[in-house]
Structure 1
Amino acid sequence: MAKDLHVALVPYAGLGHLVPFFHLSLALAKAGIRVSLISTTRNIQRLPKLPSELSTFINLVAFPMPVLVGGSLPEGAEATFDISLDKEKDLRAAYDLLCHPFKQFIANESPNWIGVDIFPNWAIEIADNFHIPVFCFSVISAATMVFNGPPECMTGDGLKKVRPSPESLTSPPPWVNFPSSVAVRRGPEANAYYYLFFNGGMGERVGKILKSCKVVAIRSCKEIEGEYLEVLSKILQKPVIPVGWLFPPNQPRGRDYGEEWLKTFNWLDQQKPKSVVFVGFGSTCKLSKDQVHEIAYGLELSNLPFLWSLIIKPDEQEDILPPSFINNTAGRGLVCRGWAPQVEILANPAIGGSLFHAGWGSFIENLLYAHRLIVMPMVYDQIFNARLLVDKGLAVQVEQNEDGLFTRHAIAVSLRQAMVSEEGNQIGLKAAEAAAAAAVVNHPTLHQGHYIIEFVQYLKNGIATQN
């Protein structure tokens, strides 16, 4: 029976990974499956409170963050939120040391399945030792996974044959058999991704997991990524099961975030419906001073109402905004420093558009409210998500100059294109259609809809076959 199943989940140490794994835990628990969600102490503390009715099904397992000898992680750093991009290699190395307490946990608990993220490849050997099947849960888009390709093309001779250089990443790979613009651009973008993913060790990690797992579960839907899901199953030669969007289960709470946020929401309540652009680049993409200035001037030039959640690099000064920006946009926009209650902001009737990095989680949160999207991809899978959303008619992408940089003029043009042009109206219609479809197939009273039900059935059948 489903209630007898026990699944151990191992997300990577990034909020964009932890939170979807938490939402998957809730969805599985609603279906009667017992879940152990494993991370470090501080990261577990960052998760939302468990719904009381599911607390008996979910065990939040908190291991102390291992100390990396010779590393240079800041004190208390346990997630990508806590560090700059140049420290992420050390974070991954420290996170890999969780393999030791994880192995002991598996020996003690003997779960029926282990669900791993795309980075903790050390979980594969442990699962093999205890003869426990593994599924990979991908929190990135199917389009990104299809672009990265099958394991045999991520490293070694297979990589050299299909992707011999950064330039080879500037067009869709040969296994994409339908019109697509999901690829990187020339110059810095191509070089950065090539040497980070394919030559930087990530491809080897991801490839090991994809090669060894029994099935890939993916936070997506056929309604948006149907063709990519089909190709992904074909190139991996194993089942690929979308589990739906896994929307946040708790709709926006009361405004209990403090006096400053109360003032912010009061300001939002006074704006016209669908008139305000929310600007947010998440916890991983901490903006430099130059990037902040271009965005600020772009917002100023656009003449649109905005709410900006601003997170900057740790070594940047607090006075990072242009001196005249606050005065020039007074009454038309607000800037909020640090963390923001993004889901509640996006749910406000005044929000009509979102300027963001095209992170998959942020896209899903926007999809829930049918916002017009303006995308400025910075790193990693954001590049591919942006192309996908433009292809689907759901977004406008800010153009980059020859150096790959986003300028104030391009930002202003894209903002107005999405918010006040006829093309923007068409994006709004497409977004509304996508949101309506998502609401049907991810209905929360149906354990997040038919997608999660199909995945649960696969897990049950897999255990029945082994027995």
Structure 2
Amino acid sequence: MADGMHVVMLPWLAFGHMIPFLHLSIALAKSGIRISFLTPPRNIQRLPKIPQHLTALINLVELPLAKVDGLPEGAEATVDILQGSDEYLKKAYDLSYPTFKQFITKESPDWIVHDLFPSWVSNVASEFNIPRVFFSILSASMVAFLGPAGEVLRKIWPSPESLESPPEWFSFESSVAFPPHETAGFYRRFFTPDASGFSSLDRLVIALQGCSAIAIRSCNEFQGEYLSLLKKFHQRPVIPIGLLPPTPPEKRETTDPKWANTLKWLDEQPNRSVVFVCFGSECKLSRDQVFEIAHGLQLSNLPFLWALRTPIWATNDIDTLPSGFKSQIGNRGVIHMGWAPQLEILAHPSIGGSLFHSGWASIIETIHYGHVLIVLPLANVQSLDARMLVDKGLAIKVEINKDGSFHRDAVARSLRLAMIEEEGESFRIKSMEMKAIFSDQTLHENYVSEFINFLKSSSKALS
């Protein structure tokens, strides 16, 4: 047990952030640490269920959002808004400061573990003398790419073009950098204040100033070179907490006939023959992107399962796909419209590869099951992780044009190389080799134990 320790978790309002924070909460609760997990009420309803034996230790606390102009009614997470309009969500989140302060005044926790965007947490922590940990859900390679924190970043990265090359502090071979078509957008988002009045750089500087440690969802066995760099950059402990690998899903009965039919189709496919295609809830695909992916899948002649949400530009499910697409692929592929149980799909023996956006959480889940990776980065910092995977011989990257578009032929070529062609065998072997690390529960539990030891020993030293 952890001597009644109480830790407050404060993630950013994106499910790609909230889920890792929840996984860390569950890992800490297993050691007897009491958790208060703060997020708006609708998000609480949409989070995965907490294991029954830990519900007494994990308290999901409602942190209501204020209404602000530009934020749709009822929006509480990035999945609820248009891509690129999260500045209004940040503005609403900033207005949660008084409610958060009131909660901290009442509870007086031992630690606050927080994300990048709630910059106001530092003022509350300082006022009540509560130590805090900045938890980055991004990969170590992405965080290391940025370099030393602070205003010095404006000098290190003087222009969008400067982001196109790996930084000079990478003393090892690495191609991690932004492609030219992404640099202007990232540069603007990172360095320029938005509707909230802050830039991402402002929030990063505030998050790091005064924190007792930086926790990173990574491990030395996979990103040791990047973690070593981070430890040199920051004058405080940088603690890898492991990959927080997914718990294998239980086989469950389903009352949804659509998913039952999909599962039946999967059961009929040969082992490791199917490509799983999924771009997550945060990635809003355009019509051209959906159509090129669809035609690429058709040209590949491979069996596939595509989990696809109806885009905002489509009037219905039929309008989402190219005319005649379903009849042309016949029984070779399944398009599962709407939510799909990603972990249950990845765990299915018929899945052999995954075409996805190369988000860090999906990378972890995919390699956990030893599937070959076909990456098509489309937004945010996904290109950096895609290049890191290519460097490590772990992924085949779909060729992207200079303007950021891609062609169906490139999709089909990458899929066939990954799944069946002899030249892709090294990628299939490498994925299975890395599965041993990514699925090693004991290894990653030991990382969490080291983090818990830090919280306990530092808490005593600070008290």
- Same fold judged by TM-score > 0.5? yes
Counterpart Cα distance in 2 of 1:151 and 1:397: 30
Identify the residue that residue 196 of structure 2 maps to in structure 1.
Answer: none
Structure 1 pair 88–316 and aligned structure 2 pair: CA distance change class (3 A): farther
Which residue of 113, 135, 160 corresponds with 1:137? Answer: 135
Aligned residue pairs, count: 456
Contact 2:368 2:438 in 1 (8 A): yes
Residue correspondence of structure 1 range 25-174 to structure 2 within 5 A: 25-68=25-68, 71-152=69-150, 155=151, 158-174=152-168
Q: TM-score normalised to the size of structure 2?
A: 0.95
**Which runs of 4 or more aligned residues in structure 1 lie more than 3 Å from their structure 2 counterparts after TM superposition?**
none
1:355 aligns with 2:342: no
The C-alpha deviation readout for 1:5-42, integer Å capped at 9, x for no partner, is: 11000000001011111110000000111111110001
User: Contact 1:84/1:313 (CA < 8 Å) preserved in 2?
Assistant: no
- SS of 1:285's equivalent in the other structure is coil
Q: 2:182 matched to which residue of 1?
A: 189
Q: CA RMSD in A?
A: 1.5
| Letter matched to residue 39 of structure 1 | T
- Once the two structures are superposed, the pairs formed by residues 426-441 of structure 1 within 5 Å of their partners are 426-440=426-440
Q: Quick check: 2:248–2:343 contact (8 Å CA) kept in 1?
A: no
Unaligned runs of 5+ in 1: none
C-alpha displacement of 1:402 = 2.1
Query: What is the CA-CA distance between 1:334 and the residue it aligns to?
Result: 0.8
| Per-residue CA distance 1:373-410 (angstroms, 9 max, x = gap) | 00011111211110111111111011111212111111
C-alpha displacement at 1:74, in angstroms?
Answer: 2.1
Percent same amino acid at aligned positions?
49
Q: Output the amino acid matched with 2:132.
A: V
CA distances 1:233-253 after superposition (whole Å, capped 9, x unpaired): 111222111111112335244
The 5 A counterparts of 1:16-31 are 16-31=16-31
Q: Report the AA paired with residue 266 of structure 1.
A: K
Q: Does 1:217 align with 2:250?
A: no
* Residue segments in structure 2 that go unaligned for 5+ positions in a row: 194-198
Change in CA separation of 1:195 and 1:355 when aligned onto 2, cut-off 3 Å: same
What is the 5 A alignment of 1:170-181? 170-181=164-175
On the 8 A contact 2:309/2:338 being kept in 1, the answer is: yes
CA contact (8 A) 2:94 2:118 kept: yes
Matches within 5 A, 1:327-406: 327-406=327-406
State how far apart, in whole Å, the 2-side matches of 1:418 and 1:53 are: 41
Amino acid in structure 1 at the alignment position of 2:91: A
Displacement of 1:257 in angstroms is 5.6
User: In the aligned structure 1, how far is the partner of 2:386 from the partner of 2:310?
Assistant: 22
Distance 2:333 2:248 in 1: 28
- Aligned 8 A contact 1:220 1:242 in 2: yes
Q: Distance in 2 between matches of 1:312 and 1:357?
A: 17
Find the residue that maps to 1:4 and give its secondary structure.
coil
User: What are the Cα deviations for residues 251-273 of structure 1, in whole angstroms up to 9, with x where unaligned?
Assistant: 24414261110110000000011
Q: 2:238: which partner in 1?
A: 240
The CA distance in 2 between the partners of 1:121 and 1:256, in whole Å, is 42
Aligned CA distance change for structure 1 residues 133 and 321 (closer, same or farther; 3 Å): same
Q: Distance in 2 between matches of 1:172 and 1:406?
A: 23
SS across alignment from 2:37: strand
